[in-house]
């Protein structure tokens, strides 16, 4: 028994022995570490106390089916730590009997890394499909407007940006001239009172966009022109992304996108 207990405690997976009263009769060291509770605390708790999804009734239903069939399919859920954080887990269990009583021997595996890998794969697939759709649309585009509409549609589909525009810097980099704006608020952007011409000097955000040659994710902060501040306030925006337009080694301008409320 000592050897068995030591072996279970060395497991990287959390192990729980659950009795018919839906309380933990045994937990290993990994269970304590993963949840942030002491062994003594966990032995006063049950499955629904550490599960962010399954209620007491749901746990009882699972246990009843497991005890009736001597098994239960592997399933996924989320466990809740002492500090309230949750993480995805995969649960497998089997029925054991001791001294006339039934127990569920449950093994819990943290699948956070697997989920992140799956999400990353899905995101890459999503972007690949988006680029394929965009390339097909650009092959058929005849005007700048059609190009911008295609880019806006894919930006909205992939990352939720509903508005897109492009602007070029003047040779002295003191101003940025908006060429095209597409999206629900394009009329505001291109209007006489909007942001068709942006002054760079003294505007912290525009200075950062001009100076860098990498994509930027920006929030409304620091000194900026009253024109931009009024526009952002009017359109309820707080975050934007800018991607530089490069011709050989020359920073010509930027393609930008807003998330507007």
61-70, 116-125, 135-144: least confident range: 135-144
122: in domain: no
C-alpha 41: how far from its chain's center? 33
- Same structural domain, 93 and 193: no
CA distance 243 to 216: 7
pLDDT in tens, 147-199: 666 766 766 666 555 666 777 888 888 888 776 666 665 665 555 555 577 78
How high is the pLDDT of residue 88?
Answer: 97
Is residue 239 scored above 70 in pLDDT?
A: no
Report CA-CA distances (Å) from 10 to 7, 42, 50, 188: 5, 18, 21, 63
Instruction: Report residue 261's pLDDT band, with 50, 70 and 90 as the boundaries.
Output: very low
Instruction: Report residue 145's pLDDT band, with 50, 70 and 90 as the boundaries.
Output: low
65-74, 110-119, 222-231: least confident range: 222-231
Q: Which residue range is the domain that position 71 belongs to?
A: 2-110
CA distance 39 to 25: 10
- Same structural domain, 250 and 154: yes
CA distance 67 to 71: 7
Which tokens hold the place of 200?
């760079």
What percentage of the chain exceeds 70 in pLDDT?
69
Q: Output the domain CATH number for residue 96.
A: 3.30.450.20
Q: Output the domain CATH number for residue 148.
A: 3.30.450.40
Count of alpha carbons within 13 angstroms of residue 182, beta-carbon side? 18
The more confidently predicted of residues 223 and 243 is 243
CB 252 within 8 A of CB 242: no
Q: How many domains does the chain have?
A: 2
91: in domain: yes
pLDDT in tens, 100-125: 899 999 999 999 999 999 998 887 88
Give the CA-trace dihedral at 70, 71, 72, 74, to 10 degrees.
Answer: 170
CA distance 82 to 97: 30
pTM: 0.58
- Whose structure tokens read 């629904």? 48
CA distance 19 to 29: 19
- Same structural domain, 94 and 153: no
- Same structural domain, 83 and 152: no
**Mean of pLDDT values over 126-132:** 75
The DSSP secondary-structure symbol of 43 reads T
93: in domain: yes
**Mean of pLDDT values over 219-242:** 52
- Same structural domain, 146 and 80: no
- Whose structure tokens read 């309230």? 84
Helix, strand and coil percent figures for the chain, each rounded to 5: 40, 35, 25
- Same structural domain, 193 and 242: yes
Is residue 260 scored above 50 in pLDDT?
A: no
123: in domain: no
The more confidently predicted of residues 27 and 70 is 27
Count of alpha carbons within 13 angstroms of residue 170, beta-carbon side? 12
Q: Are strands 86-98 and 216-219 parallel, antiparallel or unpaired?
A: unpaired
- Local structure of 170: helix, strand or coil: coil
């Amino acid at each position: 028994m000592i050897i068995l207990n030591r072996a279970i405690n060395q497991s990287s997976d959390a192990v729980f022995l659950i009795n018919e009263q839906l309380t933990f009769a045994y937990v290993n060291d990994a269970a304590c570490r993963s949840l942030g509770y002491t062994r003594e605390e966990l032995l006063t708790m049950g499955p629904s106390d550490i599960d962010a999804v399954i209620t007491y009734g749901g746990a009882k239903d699972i246990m009843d089916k497991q005890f009736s069939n001597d098994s239960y399919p592997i399933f996924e859920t989320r466990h809740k730590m002492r500090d309230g954080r949750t993480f995805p887990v995969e649960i497998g269990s089997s029925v054991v009997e001791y001294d006339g009583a039934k127990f569920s021997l449950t093994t819990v595996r943290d699948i956070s890394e697997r989920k992140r890998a799956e999400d990353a794969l899905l995101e890459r697939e999503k972007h690949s499909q988006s680029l394929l759709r965009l390339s097909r649309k650009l092959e058929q585009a005849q005007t700048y407007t059609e190009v911008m509409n295609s880019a806006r549609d894919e930006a909205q589909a992939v990352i939720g940006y509903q508005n897109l525009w492009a602007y070029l810097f003047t040779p002295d980099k003191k101003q940025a001239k908006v060429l095209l704006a597409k999206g629900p608020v394009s009329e505001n952007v291109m209007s006489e009172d909007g942001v068709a011409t942006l002054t760079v000097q003294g505007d912290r955000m525009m200075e950062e966009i001009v100076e860098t040659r990498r994509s930027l994710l920006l929030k409304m902060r620091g000194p900026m022109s009253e024109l931009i501040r009024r526009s952002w306030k009017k359109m309820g925006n707080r975050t934007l992304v800018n991607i530089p337009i490069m011709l050989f080694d020359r920073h010509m301008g930027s393609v930008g996108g807003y998330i507007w409320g």
